[in-house]
Chains A and B, each alone.
Chain A
């Protein structure tokens, strides 16, 4: 057997993907579509990268405005840029 079917107690995965959450989301959005078993892990990866880019952009915005904390408007500005980039 290539992989173990269960995750033993010792081998708990750090930063688990919320696979159930993602599958449910997809099902709710597109009930006529099906998502493959590995697809949701890749969706999780996609979200991770999106969040990563968003955080970088927000941090840059905050640093540019010489703020010690990230404010809402920083996030909004960052989101605009990143969502646009993700669209293309």
Chain B
């Protein structure tokens, strides 16, 4: 009798309440003083002791023919549960009527509350059949418990269903009607049993989504477009995201900052191989695109694709705004100056070529922007390329903060307001750089150090005597940056970062 219940049942409020209700008696005035005290003691020890032990104690107590339990039960019965609307009875009713959410619960559901209100003499019969009959009011018969214990959850469900049927119909097919008339709990219990009968299937299925990890939705097309734009960007300047891009010595930016901020991010992705195939088809068709020359010589490396995909996906998750900003360049107009530079860097990275097919294929597959990317691919854009490179990564970076602004504001915003935010941020960054220069010069240095930053924040009133810089770092920065900034002791008598 050590373990009446399956070990994997988790303590929930319901189960704890049940324990409490099981172990403690209803506070009926007719009860003997000693019984009440003992009940209170059991009540007290219930929350502190473990569930299983409680259960064993309870079941042992209940199953035994000890005078205490019988006396308590007798008195409990004498009290009657409906005469007084105590919190106990209310709780019991709640427990009985409320649908169970856990599989294991049904046992205790059966077991429940009615302990105090049990029909005394029938209970004391203690025969399995009678116990089953009395189930609505009684604790779960110990015979069933081991059965339930031994089997897995599914089996428990099945047996419980059989058990419940027995409860309802009685071992000889009699409907359960043996409880005293004033025992609505029984009917409620059966109804709750019915309820729980239905629920055991649910909790298992309901639990599944929580436990089962759904594979992350893959938005490969996004990645492709992002890569393409990134590559375009990388032609312009150093890559924004270090995780995604290796150092690419592209000096000239790609033109093609079309206002594609509205590129919808979730795009279907045909898959790297398909992308390459389609790209090759398309690239062969579009000759004037000098950039497409890259595509022809070398097929994309699938390995690079996969690892880049992962990193891109991660990056994409991190910087959707930057990707959208980068996607703006997916048109890739091929100006002559760009073309001249392109061949130099063509052999530089396989990744670029790989990037090109993926995003371009994604772009073409996209239904949202069918025309523009195709046009961009096939038609050289004679736009001025020079201002682009400055603007795009700059805008991309500012977009990052703009999105944070809309997140912090928690209210819908106008587009003009967002542009205004960008301008403000631009101005603020200029002021910031000036201040840092002044501070560094004041300290006689040519390098701006974190102390200068701290001084700046102190002057701005962000860092006060009450709020230190470390507190702000903890609040607003992710763990990786916090590790960079706040010195922490590591093993081997080392502190990182070094003071």
The interface of chain A, by Cβ under 8 A from chain B, is 2-3, 7, 9, 11-22, 24-26, 29-30, 32-39, 41-52, 54-56, 58-59, 62, 68-72, 74-76, 79, 82-83, 85-88
Flag if A22 contacts B397 (CB, 8 Å): yes
Q: In chain B, residues 152-172, which have Cβ atoms closer than 8 Å to a Cβ of chain A?
A: none
Q: Provided the pairs A20-B239, A21-B396, A38-B484 are in contact, do residues A71 and B414 lie with their beta carbons within 8 angstroms? A: yes
Flag if A50 contacts B397 (CB, 8 Å): no
DSSP class of A's interface residues: helix, strand, loop or mixed?
Answer: helix
Nearest chain A CB to B203's CB is how many angstroms away? 30
Flag if A70 contacts B412 (CB, 8 Å): yes
- With a cutoff of 8 Å between Cβ atoms, the chain A residues found around residue B481 in the complex are 13, 17, 41, 44-45
Which stretch from B6-14, B206-214, B445-453 is at the chain A interface?
Answer: B445-453
- With a cutoff of 8 Å between Cβ atoms, the chain A residues found around residue B400 in the complex are 18, 21
Alpha-carbon distance A44/B472, docked complex (angstroms): 12
Flag if B478 contacts A13 (CB, 8 Å): yes
Flag if B238 contacts A20 (CB, 8 Å): yes
- With a cutoff of 8 Å between Cβ atoms, the chain B residues found around residue A83 in the complex are 424, 427-428, 431
Q: Provided the pairs A18-B319, A20-B241 are in contact, do residues A85 and B411 lie with their beta carbons within 8 angstroms? A: no
Q: A9-B314, A34-B447, A68-B411 are in contact. List 12 more A-B contacts (CB 8 A).
A: A9-B311, A13-B478, A16-B243, A17-B477, A20-B242, A29-B433, A33-B447, A42-B469, A44-B477, A46-B462, A56-B408, A58-B417
In-complex Cβ contact of A51 among B315, B322, B405 (8 A) = B405
Flag if B409 contacts A55 (CB, 8 Å): yes
- With a cutoff of 8 Å between Cβ atoms, the chain A residues found around residue B425 in the complex are 47, 50-51
Flag if B433 contacts A55 (CB, 8 Å): no
- With a cutoff of 8 Å between Cβ atoms, the chain B residues found around residue A22 in the complex are 397
Q: How many B residues touch A, CB cutoff 8 Å?
A: 76
27 CB contacts below 8 A, A to B, read: A2-B490, A9-B311, A12-B314, A14-B317, A17-B481, A18-B241, A18-B319, A18-B397, A19-B242, A24-B393, A30-B436, A38-B485, A46-B453, A46-B460, A46-B462, A50-B428, A51-B401, A52-B476, A55-B406, A58-B409, A69-B414, A72-B414, A72-B417, A74-B417, A75-B417, A75-B420, A83-B428
Flag if B318 contacts A16 (CB, 8 Å): yes
- With a cutoff of 8 Å between Cβ atoms, the chain B residues found around residue A37 in the complex are 484
Per-residue contact bits, chain B 118-131, to A (CB 8 Å; 1 contact, 0 not): 00000000000000
Flag if B318 contacts A54 (CB, 8 Å): no
- With a cutoff of 8 Å between Cβ atoms, the chain A residues found around residue B444 in the complex are none
How many contacting A-B pairs (Cβ < 8 A)? 198
- Closest Cβ neighbor of B479 among chain A residues: A13
Flag if A39 contacts B456 (CB, 8 Å): no
In-complex Cβ contact of B480 among A13, A35, A39, A88 (8 A) = A13
- With a cutoff of 8 Å between Cβ atoms, the chain A residues found around residue B421 in the complex are 51, 54, 75, 79
Q: Provided the pairs A16-B319, A38-B497 are in contact, do residues A45 and B447 lie with their beta carbons within 8 angstroms? A: no
- With a cutoff of 8 Å between Cβ atoms, the chain A residues found around residue B450 in the complex are 36, 38-39, 42
Flag if B424 contacts A54 (CB, 8 Å): yes
Nearest chain B CB to A63's CB is how many angstroms away? 8
- With a cutoff of 8 Å between Cβ atoms, the chain B residues found around residue A17 in the complex are 477, 481
- With a cutoff of 8 Å between Cβ atoms, the chain B residues found around residue A55 in the complex are 405-406, 408-409
- With a cutoff of 8 Å between Cβ atoms, the chain A residues found around residue B149 in the complex are none
Flag if B446 contacts A32 (CB, 8 Å): yes
In-complex Cβ contact of B318 among A15, A29, A47, A85 (8 A) = A15
> Would you call B348 an interface residue if the criterion is a C-beta within 8 Å of the partner chain's C-beta atoms?
no
Nearest chain B CB to A67's CB is how many angstroms away? 9
Flag if A7 contacts B243 (CB, 8 Å): yes
Q: Provided the pairs A39-B453, A41-B484, A51-B404 are in contact, do residues A30 and B433 lie with their beta carbons within 8 angstroms? A: yes
- Closest Cβ neighbor of B459 among chain A residues: A88
Flag if B310 contacts A18 (CB, 8 Å): no
Nearest chain B CB to A58's CB is how many angstroms away? 6
Alpha-carbon distance A54/B448, docked complex (angstroms): 25
Alpha-carbon distance A22/B478, docked complex (angstroms): 17
Alpha-carbon distance A47/B477, docked complex (angstroms): 12
Nearest chain A CB to B497's CB is how many angstroms away? 7
Alpha-carbon distance A84/B11, docked complex (angstroms): 56
- With a cutoff of 8 Å between Cβ atoms, the chain A residues found around residue B409 in the complex are 55, 58-59, 70
Flag if A54 contacts B405 (CB, 8 Å): yes
Alpha-carbon distance A26/B373, docked complex (angstroms): 34
Q: Provided the pairs A15-B318, A75-B420 are in contact, do residues A35 and B448 lie with their beta carbons within 8 angstroms? A: yes
In-complex Cβ contact of B410 among A39, A51, A59 (8 A) = A59
Most buried by B among A18, A32, A79, A88: A18
> Would you call B457 an interface residue if the criterion is a C-beta within 8 Å of the partner chain's C-beta atoms?
yes
> Would you call B339 an interface residue if the criterion is a C-beta within 8 Å of the partner chain's C-beta atoms?
no
Nearest chain B CB to A39's CB is how many angstroms away? 5
